[in-house]
A and B are shown apart, each in its own frame.
Chain A
Amino acid sequence: MYNVVTYSLYFILPYVSLIILVCGVLYRITLWLNAGKGPLGLYLGLYRLVIKPRQESLLSSVKHILARMFTYYTILGSSYRRDYSTWLGVLLFHWGIFLLIAFHLHLWLPQLIISESLMFILGTTVGALTLAAGIFLLVRRIRVQRIYRVLINYLDDYVAISWVIVIVVLGLALRLTAPPSLFSEATKWALGLTSLKYTPPPSNLLFYAHVLAVELFMVYIPFAKMIHPFSMPVNPALYGRFEDINEIERRVIRKLGW
């Protein structure tokens, strides 16, 4: 029975989760793209819908979207004040997740030798910062509703961030308590997954819980607000071309003979 459960949850479910994640996200992007600009081929009568001035080429749109995705600079844009604390919270939380995901790739790269103490320091530091930022953002979310006297949060707004916090807490607890042998066992399990060969996962309750939480989160991503990182490249207000002053100059020269 025990073997059946671990086999299903830690060998079958990872593939299912990954398939749902990839296909779900692609499907939602396809739905956005298929929606088209509008019923009559324009954005309610407009050829372009861009929000950022001085976009002169596709490259500048890409830069603009990447800047929004990875620097969150609009939060720092001054409107009576600059919200440094929220910006720092958002930055640490998202970059913490990016780094933690990057650290986990080490499971598939056992040839990369990093000392246990360095792994421990990096993992716990980044994990703790991400956790602190996550809790800060959750508290902020509740506070925003209170100060503006508005009910803006849906259930999944709380679920998404709480779930990430749970994953980070479990991962951090695992990192703090795991015996040194766990990493090599986890590596075997992970490599087993990529080579389609079942290798039992390390027998550790926190490991089981952490991995299961991640797998279920992967399934959850395409369904609700966790789709948000994928919405930006498909948002017509962020891409599109604007002319620049040189183009005006060319027109004036051409048409008015100046």
Chain B
Amino acid sequence: MVNVKVKYRGEVKDILEASPRYSEWVKEFSNGSGHLKARVEADEGTLSAIEVNKLTKVKPNPSDRKLYFINRIGELARSSRAFRNYMESCTHCGFCIDKCQMWLATRDPNNSPVGRADLIRNIYRRMRKLTFGLVDKVSDEKELKQLLDSIDLDKIWTYYYQCTECRRCAYFCPFGIDQAEITRSIRQIFVEMGMMPPFIAKTMECVYKTGNNMCITKDAALNVIDFTVSEISEQTGKKMEGVVDKDTADVLYIPSSTDFFTNIGTLKGAIAIMTELGLNWTMDSQALEVGNFGLFEDEYHLRRFGDNIVNAALRRRAKMVIFGECGHGWRAFKNYVVPRLAEHGIDGISITQLTAWALRKGKLKLSNKVDAVVTYHDPCNLARAGDLIEEPREILKSTVKEFREREHNRERTLCCGAGGGLLLDELMPLRVWAGWPSVYDAYRTGAQYMVAPCSIDKAQFPLVIEYHKVPLKFRGVSDFVYAALYGIDIDSV
């Protein structure tokens, strides 16, 4: 049973009780969520392919790992302003607890921002004993050894792989303590201990091999693009070209690799938008990926995957890089890739920014509005970390008949429950409930479609919607632009 009721004004039931699958929640989460653990990649071949063995700095036995872990916490306190600040400035007011959708989904206090941070903060404060950070001194080796017994690395791993790094807590925290940054710091240490979930490791291996998360080779990509443009031609009667590896182009388009499998509508939208705008554009077969799983894991991989886009832009002599639909990738793109591109005089913008701008300037002529009622789910990394809030709304308002704002919108948006690298099969019971608050929020608007320009949302929400038997459909933003451009039924896009 839920211990604290969270409900909408005017409703009697807790949001969890509003789901037809509530009895399953009771079975799964009555004793918290500590039983749902991300697995650890054991395949040496994969770990070596993604250079984790180069990053590993400690032998894989428990006591060495624990000692390394606490030593690194001490080092982070000296080298990372954010980490130190967040370890020292929490007043334990508890405002963050009921803002975290992981807590909303599990009601496990360890699975809340302050509970999660305190797993580390307890170690940090014991290391600094009575000074609580005043004296910049880390305990000596002997004192650290005494701490080792109290550390439960398994518990830390479990709960740090139940954080989606959505930063909802940071927005609501009176001090702006960003739990996502603590999570990223702790996962960085886990990578240095050679630990990473298999799904993330295998995805990264694909990026090493092909430049994208889905292991799409150039031939496979060309096949999908041929298929996509022939469908566009059937639906619109227009001949378009999906350009790949053009020698020189003004604009380099970086799609999400999932657009080549499940979200073809988004790929069609992007091709149509750029063709209609008359851009001299191309894709790069070595950089068919906007996502950046390095953001969830460690600095090395974040930079490596970010630099892959920079190199592609230089290869194609592009003046501008246009970023496809993706949430977490936008955070890495905007805050790492764009400043790196700027060093070479190249700009980077999002396809949603470009489309909103083109619609406002009348550069894109829509044939008619899509006959649908839609609501918009703000992806966390667009709203809180990426400043992309009004553009998707502008696009939807001009492409659909009715746009309904849901209650938790903009910076207050609820996370999909699978961000931060939690798109793991082993966490499925957690995922379907972590996504429920957002789906329920969208469902309450009475909309037919829930829309978000984010690939993780596109992978996660259909599962959540199906699990809870909600009469909603999930689509990307560019899908609607495509449908409105040519007057096509959105369900056949």
Contacts and interface: CB of A to CB of B under 8 A. Distances in A.
B181 A248 contact: no
Contacts of A243: 387
Given A45-B303, A81-B9, A223-B132, A74 B173 contact: yes
Given A51-B171, A227-B89, A35 B357 contact: no
A80 to B, nearest CB: 5
B29 to A, nearest CB: 13
A42 B85 contact: no
A256 B320 contact: yes
A149 B3 contact: yes
Interface in A60-103: 68, 72, 74-75, 77-81, 83, 86, 90
Contact of A228 (B175, B277, B335): B175
B339 A36 contact: no
B79 A152 contact: no
B95 A75 contact: yes
Interface string B265-279: 000000000000101
Given A148-B97, A149-B109, A222-B134, A46 B335 contact: yes
Interface string B319-346: 1100000000001100110010000000
Given A28-B133, A38-B80, A49-B181, A152 B295 contact: no
Contact of A237 (B176, B184, B306, B387): B176
A141 interface: yes
Contacts of B80: 35-39, 43-44
B134 A28 contact: yes
A54 interface: yes
Nearest to A83: B95
Interface in A23-53: 24, 27-28, 31-33, 35-40, 42-53
A153 interface: yes
Interface residues of B, number: 95
Contacts of B357: 245, 248-249, 252
Contacts of A77: 171-172, 412
Nearest to A50: B385
A114 interface: no
Given A68-B174, A156-B132, A235 B82 contact: yes
A148 B118 CA distance: 15
Contacts of A31: 84, 133, 136
B172 A251 contact: no
A227 B84 CA distance: 13
Interface in B56-110: 75, 77-86, 88-95, 97-99, 109-110
B94 A51 contact: no
Contacts of A148: 3-4, 94, 97, 109, 112
Contacts of B188: 44
B85 A51 contact: no
Interface string B288-319: 00000011001100110010000000000001
Nearest to B389: A53
A221 to B, nearest CB: 10
Contact of B302 (A36, A45, A78): A45
B473 to A, nearest CB: 25
Nearest to B348: A251
B131 interface: yes
Contact of B85 (A81, A154, A156, A235): A235
B413 to A, nearest CB: 10
Contacts of B112: 148, 150
Contact of B336 (A38, A42, A225, A234): A42
Interface string A214-258: 000000001111011001101111100011110011011011101
Contact of B387 (A53, A225, A252): A53
Q: Which of B7, B78, B175 has the most CB of A within 10 A?
A: B175
Given A238-B176, A248-B353, A248-B357, A54 B387 contact: yes
A238 B88 CA distance: 16
A51 B173 CA distance: 11
Contacts of A36: 79-81
A139 interface: no
Given A35-B81, A46-B332, A157 B91 contact: yes
B114 interface: yes
A48 B89 contact: no
A28 to B, nearest CB: 6
Interface of B: 3-4, 6-9, 15, 75, 77-86, 88-95, 97-99, 109-110, 112, 114-115, 118, 125, 130-134, 136, 167, 170-178, 181, 184-185, 188, 250-251, 277, 279, 294-295, 298-299, 302-303, 306, 319-320, 331-332, 335-336, 339, 347, 349, 353-354, 356-357, 361, 363, 383-387, 389-391, 407-408, 410-412
Given A46-B336, A49-B178, 12 more contacts: A28-B134, A46-B302, A53-B410, A75-B174, A141-B92, A141-B94, A150-B115, A228-B175, A232-B176, A235-B89, A236-B81, A245-B391
Top 5 A-B residue pairs of the complex, sorted by shortest distance between their CB atoms = A150-B109, A231-B89, A45-B302, A144-B94, A45-B299
Interface of A: 24, 27-28, 31-33, 35-40, 42-54, 68, 72, 74-75, 77-81, 83, 86, 90, 141, 144-145, 147-150, 152-154, 156-157, 222-225, 227-228, 231-232, 234-238, 242-245, 248-249, 251-252, 254-256, 258
18 contacts: A33-B81, A38-B299, A39-B75, A44-B188, A51-B167, A80-B6, A144-B94, A149-B3, A152-B118, A223-B134, A228-B175, A235-B178, A238-B176, A243-B387, A252-B349, A254-B347, A255-B320, A256-B320
